[in-house]
Amino acid sequence: MKVLIAGISGSLARGVTQHLLAAGHTVIGIDRRPWPDPPAGVTVYRVDVRKRPAEDVFRTERPDAVIHMATVTHFTTSREERYRINLHGTRAIFERAHAHGVKRCIFIGRHTVYGAAPDAPLYRTEDEPPLGMATFPELADLAAADLYAGSALWRYPSLRTAVLRLVYTLGPSRRGTLAGYLAGARVPTVMGFDPLFQFMHEDDAARAIAEALNHDLHGIYNVAGPQPVPLSLLCRATGRTAVPLPAPLFGRLTGKLGFSWLPEGALAHVKYPIVVDGSAFAEATGFTPRFDEAQAMEAYRWA
Amino acid sequence: MIWDRLTEKTVRARLDALDLPFNRYGLDPLGISKAHLGAFYSLLKPLYHQYFRVETFGIEHVPPWGRAMVIGNHSGGLPVDAAMALAALFFEGDPPRHAHGMVEKFAQRWPVVSPLFSRIGQLTGLPEHAVRMLEDDRLLMVFPEGARGTGKLYKDKYKLVRFGTGFMRIALQTRSPIVPFAFVGGEEALPVIHHADGLARLTGAPYWPVTPYVLPIPLPFPCQLWFGEAMHFEGDGHEADPVIEGYVQQVKDRIAALIEQGRAFRRGRLQTAEGGAP
């Protein structure tokens, strides 16, 4: 199968590329960012997915499948830019996929769209509405992109669409949302709270995405790895020192005193757990993680 | 770790006999920590044996493994009843069983309390949690009176208030047996004569109990737990409300009967004690 990865230069996407190549697929990619030394046979088009040259990639390459990983978070991108990339970019990709004969489209989303709340259940299932934006405005564009991608299920019924909501990833690349939060030697936590954090080894995440392509998925799936662990243990096992801050001061102190920066809305995400049920995906694809929670934390720690 | 040091030797042996799937950190997928559980039961042990001198009858009615719901009455202004039922199932059960209570939502907002409840497997009372735990073949503890039950005043003692019906639909849906139980003594141990509504609003609690001695601290009154025979109901959880209410009434009646049995036992013991006095 010829697979086009939008956002191929990201660290998780590079891992997906490796797994796809190993499985015998042909891989091409689109990204504004460079990938100076892609594996042999992988063409990377340095174009913007929303611009005309990207459409030409669809037209001339005629990919069979598209994996959409070109979404950005508040950690790297301003608000206006986020809406342009996450929403208009997602729209452009699905429209072009539909127009140019793509058979399968996979949108890579995040489990954080469910949102953290004191009265939310553990192990969220796919039928729960994403509530992340209620407390965390910086997530609104990603939640909207996730729902918009899901709308392709009825707008383009002939295009087999899968929306994957992945838990946090951890691993030797030290990239990703959770890696950013744990970046400093001292990790800011909220006094009196110790939520469960759910993550998977980044290689398992890449393998899960590549594996999704081998199955005729049409729907929304949570992708989870090993069991979640409390934040205190996550800090300890990754060699960090958790520094509990009183909740009212949390927003004022992050980004200072050597703590990593977090937007104000992230407070709920360090007070309450977001844990998803990945059993539907596991059942549909046979996916099981190869790295357990301890191995994922150690891979991140000793990278 | 501090939690480990707080764990008693006898508690440790029973912990090892629990059928919870702990990982190498002693954590299960719901976030229950073996170390926290050890400290928790070590704390409950003297409360159960010495402080409340709890006597438990009919523990053999609780299935030794697999899914089940234990359903009881609320007795007293604080969930002492829940703690003592947990202790009974852990210390008297053979093998020991860990029950999962269904906690009021407000507790999740409280710092310290919220993660501790989570580490000892006392999750928010959501139907999603109940179904998940039963399908996982765990033991669920439900007080269908809810906060209405713990919010009873002393003058209404041992009168059962309205039962929620959600538990019955979940029991039917998951085909779980129901083990009724009565907790007797809590309302003497913690007589609530008034509710401090201002304080309740301030803390987000549904009520704040005030006793004749002001502080909501239970007194060392002896308590008894009476477990009844398991009840099995046929259905799939999609029955009409009147059918479900009928089933719930059967459970309520059994619990009321167990409470009567318990109160008769207490009266009998009181008379013996009085009769025996010179």
Residue A90 contacts residue A149 (beta carbons within 8 Å): yes
Q: Provide φ and ψ at B225, rounded to 5°.
A: -120, 130
Residue A191 contacts residue A244 (beta carbons within 8 Å): yes
What residue numbers bound the domain in which B247 lies? 2-276
The answer to whether A242 faces chain B, any CB pair under 8 Å, is no
Domain count, chain B: 1
For residue B132, give the nearest of A123, A191, A196 by CB distance: A123
A294: chain B residues, CB-CB within 8 Å: 23-25
Q: Which two tokens stand for residue B48?
A: 């159960």
Q: Is the backbone of residue B112 left (phi > 0), alpha (psi -120 to 50) or beta?
A: left
A174 CB neighbour count, 10 Å cutoff: 16
Residues B148-170 pLDDT 10s:
888 888 888 889 999 999 999 99
Scored b (16 or more CB within 10 A) or e, A95-124 reads ebbbebebebbbbbbbbbbbbbbbebbbbb
Burial class (CB in 10 A: 0-12, 13-18, 19+), A244: middle
Put simply, the answer to whether A230 touches B27 (Cβ < 8 Å) is yes
CA proximity to A255, closest of A170, A168, A186: A186
Residues A152-199 pLDDT 10s:
999 999 999 999 999 999 999 999 999 989 998 999 999 999 999 999
Residue B139 contacts residue B70 (beta carbons within 8 Å): yes
Residue B131 contacts residue B69 (beta carbons within 8 Å): no
Average pLDDT, chain A: 93
CA proximity to A87, closest of A151, A13, A154: A151
The answer to whether A227 faces chain B, any CB pair under 8 Å, is yes
Would you say residue B239 has pLDDT above 80?
Answer: yes
Residue B213 contacts residue B154 (beta carbons within 8 Å): no
The answer to whether A294 faces chain B, any CB pair under 8 Å, is yes
Residue of A nearest to B104 (CA): A119
Helices (H), B92-228: 113-119, 127-135, 146-150, 166-173, 186-189, 197-203
The answer to whether A115 faces chain B, any CB pair under 8 Å, is no
Put simply, the answer to whether B129 touches A292 (Cβ < 8 Å) is no
**Domains of chain A listed by start with CATH number:** 2-301 (3.40.50.720)
Residues B22-61 pLDDT 10s:
999 999 999 999 999 999 999 999 999 999 999 999 999 9
Residues B59-87 pLDDT 10s:
999 999 999 999 999 987 788 899 999 99
- ipTM value of the model? 0.89
Count the helix, strand and coil residues of chain A and give each as a percent rounded to the nearest 5: 40, 20, 40
Would you say residue A255 has pLDDT above 80?
Answer: no
CATH number at residue B38: 3.40.1130
Q: How far apart are CA B22 and CA B30, in angstroms?
A: 10
Angle at A127 between CA A125 and CA A131, to 5 degrees: 85
CA proximity to A38, closest of A2, A4, A69, A9: A9
A195: chain B residues, CB-CB within 8 Å: 115
Q: How far apart are CA B90 and CA A134, in angstroms?
A: 40
Query: What is the pTM for the complete model shown?
Result: 0.92
Strands A104-110 and A65-68: parallel
3-state SS, residue B146: helix
Residue of A nearest to B128 (CA): A121
From the CA of B1, how many Å to the nearest CA of chain A? 12
